[in-house]
Amino acid sequence: MTTRPLSGIRVLDFSTLLPGPMCTLLLAEAGAEVVKIERPGRGDEMRAYPPRFGSAGVNFALLNRGKRSLALDLKSADDVARAIDLVRTADVLVEQFRPDVMTRLGLGYDAMAAINPRLVYCSITGYGQSGPLADVAAHDLNYQAEAGMLGLGAGSDGMPGIPPALIADIAGGSYPAVMNILLALRERDRTGRGCHLDVSMADNLFPFMYWGLGNGWSQGAWPKAGAELVTGGSPRYQVYRTADGRYLAVAPLEQKFWENFLGVLDARHLVDDATDPVETRDAIARIIATETAAEWEKRFDGVDACVCVVRTLEEAVANPHFRDRGLFDHALEDGAGHALPATPMPIAQRFRVPAGAAGYPVLGEANADLAGPPDTD
């Protein structure tokens, strides 16, 4: 069996809620030892979030599978000293406080790098370590709004919809953090030194809108909601309602797929969609509204047209394709014999913890062997 690539790497996780814990979950699934530093008594706020799974909220359980928990009061000088002792043996530190909070606690990058020059220190924040917005309180919705992403998803009435995914937290925070931690570890292999990583969730949303930036910078044509190729301005990239109130996701962007799509609709006369895209869209909507989603799914079966039914999440996890891919083979245990599928991870199976069951940490379970008296040497 292939050795997990991060075996032997120790990660200290000072983060809570989603971005940092998702980052360290990815590292843990690739073999790292993750020690989660939590407040005594309460721990990570997600421990209390409903619904519950065992002794904790299921959100906490899913995000902290396979980690260890160390309860330390970072307002206590003795507990900070214990945390510093752990830093001496750590490879990676992940924190998610506002800028300068860790410094005020005595755990800032400069002080920790002086103790352990090989430490890779990753700070995940909404707006980064510097700039006018650095200290502003915000959440995922705010980061998407400030970065111009939320506005591109407005409906026909101009009102932006609430995104169904926490894009800034995960795609702007967790994933770039892991990417840069791995790059920093690779650099450390060559130089022997760690570094401080400044991961801004808002900054990292802009790559998703590269096409809009290109249009704006090169042509002065800044994208508008409902007017562009991927924001609703083309009949080739739309969601259409079916006769039974369900929806088809239609994305035949290439000409060959477009022609195949129109062939199934018996609407080849609509092939020139550029002349009047709105009329073409409306004509297609009228056709699709005449049959049920199941009927359309049957008609498009085997046709290269980039068309599928919009699934519910419940339908998606029951899809034989995803089950065949092994997405849900890993399990999460609650310590009382109950289990549910663990969070699917974007890690190649050869690098991930072998499929099977693992639990989440009880608050402070690692205190007995990790939080000894502070080193006074």
| pLDDT over 70 percentage in the chain | 98
Q: Which ranges of the chain does DSSP label H, i.e. alpha helix?
A: 19-29, 58-63, 77-87, 101-104, 109-115, 140-146, 167-169, 175-191, 210-219, 255-265, 277-288, 293-300, 313-318, 320-324, 367-370
pLDDT value of position 373: 72
pLDDT band at 2 (very low <50, low <70, confident <90, very high): low
Based on the fold, state whether residues 153 and 243 are members of the same structural domain: no
SS3 state at 125:
strand
Counted domains in the chain: 2
pLDDT value of position 255: 98
Q: What's the whole-model pTM score?
A: 0.95
pLDDT band at 374 (very low <50, low <70, confident <90, very high): low
pLDDT digits (tens, 9 = 90+) for 68-95: 999 999 999 999 999 999 999 999 999 9
Based on the fold, state whether residues 69 and 193 are members of the same structural domain: yes
Based on the fold, state whether residues 314 and 342 are members of the same structural domain: no
Average pLDDT over residues 280-306: 98
* Domain containing residue 297: 238-318
Let me know: does 356 contact 3? Beta carbons within 8 Å.
no
Burial string for 337-363 (b: 16+ CB within 10 Å, else e) reads eeeeebbebebeeeebbeeeebbbbbb
pLDDT band at 158 (very low <50, low <70, confident <90, very high): confident
Average pLDDT over residues 127-154: 97
pLDDT value of position 357: 82
Based on the fold, state whether residues 65 and 138 are members of the same structural domain: yes
pLDDT digits (tens, 9 = 90+) for 198-212: 999 999 999 999 999
pLDDT value of position 344: 95
In the structure encoding, which two tokens stand for residue 112, read together? 């920790």
The CATH number for 333's domain is 3.40.50.10540
Average pLDDT over residues 43-56: 96
Based on the fold, state whether residues 331 and 311 are members of the same structural domain: no
Whether residue 257 lies inside any domain: the answer is: yes
Question: How deeply is 248 buried, as exposed, middle or buried, from its count of CB atoms within 10 A (0-12, 13-18, 19+)?
Answer: buried
Question: How deeply is 40 buried, as exposed, middle or buried, from its count of CB atoms within 10 A (0-12, 13-18, 19+)?
Answer: middle
Query: Whole-angstrom Cα distance, residue 152 to residue 161?
Result: 10
pLDDT digits (tens, 9 = 90+) for 215-231: 999 999 999 999 999 99
pLDDT value of position 360: 96
pLDDT value of position 335: 87
pLDDT band at 355 (very low <50, low <70, confident <90, very high): confident
Whether residue 210 lies inside any domain: the answer is: no
Based on the fold, state whether residues 307 and 330 are members of the same structural domain: no
Whether residue 276 lies inside any domain: the answer is: yes
Whether residue 4 lies inside any domain: the answer is: no
- Cis preceding-peptide flag for 51 (omega within 30 of 0): yes
Based on the fold, state whether residues 175 and 284 are members of the same structural domain: no
Query: Whole-angstrom Cα distance, residue 348 to residue 245?
Result: 38
Active site positions, annotated: 139, 169
Let me know: does 90 contact 10? Beta carbons within 8 Å.
yes
Average pLDDT over residues 153-158: 86
Based on the fold, state whether residues 114 and 246 are members of the same structural domain: no
pLDDT value of position 375: 64
Query: Whole-angstrom Cα distance, residue 114 to residue 288?
Result: 65
| Helix (H), strand (E) at residue 305 | none
pLDDT band at 180 (very low <50, low <70, confident <90, very high): very high
pLDDT digits (tens, 9 = 90+) for 310-341: 999 999 999 999 999 999 999 999 989 899 99
Handedness of CA 136, 143, 29, 319 (dihedral sign): positive
